[in-house]
Amino acid sequence: MFTAHCEYQTFKTLIMSQICELISCESIQQNLDSAFGFNNMAPEGLQTLGYVMSPENTASAQVQAVTGRPSKTNAVKVIYDQRYLETEIEDGVAECVQTERVCDLSEVYNFDTTLSKSKGFTIEAYELAGACEENSALVARKTAKLIDLLDRSIAKKLAAAIAAQYGKWSLDTATGTGVAVTGDILQVQPYLANGNPNPVIFQQIKRAMEKSRVMGGIVSGGDSLVDFFERSFTRGASDNGWDLQEMLNRYGFAPVYDRYLADELAAVNATNAAIGKGSVIPLVANIFADPFNKMNDSTNIADVVFSPFTGIPYDLMITRPCPRDPWSVSLTATVDFVTMPDDLYKVDDNLEGTKGLALINSTCYDLTPCGKN
């Protein structure tokens, strides 16, 4: 009895311990997702980052192409103009000689490629030999783990950029029915004072976006609007005129939850960001995008790999200086985010301070802040 008890304790200790090592091939071995049906390595849904990196957002952004040339970095000067104010119109017939000189404004964007993020791992040849999993599949799985980490790091950087570089709403946005603008942040209410859902909240947001020229894009951030959106389109609500596909077709967006953006926006008293098409542009540098810098031989690989989840290109290195040395695998991300200039429009213009990127605060009733239950 005593021996059996000791063996049980030994077995219990073994299965409860957490040892970070490659497990040698045994007679029976399963990954956790196969054994329990739960994938703890599943990537997060980084929809905001995925949209900002998408061709839909970046297709016409030439600043990205210039600053992110393979292995080269240059400051980019963007030239732009401002429209006239209505008060600048002159009465009467134009004179033959005009005295007002024309000019342009400029904004310089610098891309510091030394501000990179990286992560890697090492693996011994004997560890690969002893593992059940095929070697290239094992390395690919561990590389996917690196990609997931870098994706999340870049998503956090994007959230910080949005919270720091957002623009204003147009002056006439504040005149909309049932909304307010406080501290350059649009205040909306998902529920009315009687507790019923606000049936026009998405129309109000869309109208504010149209007035401020926040064209296309997504509304991302905290879960208040997402919860309201999902709750509003449950069965039965659709019978009363709440139809999800109709709302998507009519308003062109659905709110997206982003925990990184929610955290950053809380510091500026907002819950969501209206991110217009082309309003936030990623700048990406890849040293191994240039064919001159690529490597692909038996012991050294240097190339660019793309995240299957967000589309971000990363510099991949796989090296082994000596046959007896362990393999070293690493990924490096060199990504930054820029927004349009703050002075696209003149002072006193209805669009003063707008730049296609603006913040929203979802409140409870009658534009008062939500209290915690």
Query: Cα separation of 255 and 232, whole Å?
Result: 13
Q: Distance between CA atoms of 209 and 277, rounded to whole angstroms?
A: 11
Q: Is 174 helix (H, G, I), strand (E, B) or coil?
A: helix
Separation CA 276–CA 162 (nearest Å) = 12
Query: Which DSSP category does 122 fall into?
Result: E
Digit-by-digit pLDDT tens for the chain (373 residues) are 434 444 333 333 334 445 566 666 655 555 656 656 667 777 788 889 999 998 888 876 666 555 555 555 667 788 889 999 999 999 999 889 988 888 888 888 888 888 899 999 999 888 888 888 888 888 889 999 999 999 999 999 999 999 999 999 999 999 998 899 999 999 998 887 777 778 888 889 999 999 999 988 899 999 888 877 776 655 444 444 445 555 556 677 768 899 999 999 999 999 999 999 999 999 888 889 888 888 988 789 999 999 999 999 999 999 998 888 899 999 999 999 999 999 999 999 999 999 999 999 998 656 655 543 3
Helix (H) or strand (E) holding 136: helix 135-165
pTM of the prediction? Answer: 0.83
Choose among 360, 187, 356: nearest CA to 272.
360
Q: What tokens does 179 get? A: 């909304």
Q: Are 147 and 320 in contact (CB under 8 A)?
A: no
All residues at 6 or more sequence positions from 71 whose CB lies less than 8 Å from its CB, including other chains: 285, 287, 289, 290, 292, 293
Helix axes 135-165, 259-266, angle to 10 degrees: 30
Query: E strands along 59-98, which residues?
Result: 76-80
DSSP state of 86: G
CB 24 within 8 A of CB 131: yes
Which two structure tokens, joined as six digits, stand for 311?
Answer: 């589309």
Q: Which residues contact 323 (CB under 8 A, 6 or more apart)?
A: 125, 299
Angle separating helix axes 201-211 and 223-232, nearest 10 degrees: 130
Per-residue H/E/C for 281-346: EEEECCHHHCHHHCEECCCEEEEEEECCCCCCEEEEEEECCCCCCCEEEEEEECEEEEECCCCCCC
Contact 345, 352 (CB under 8 A): yes
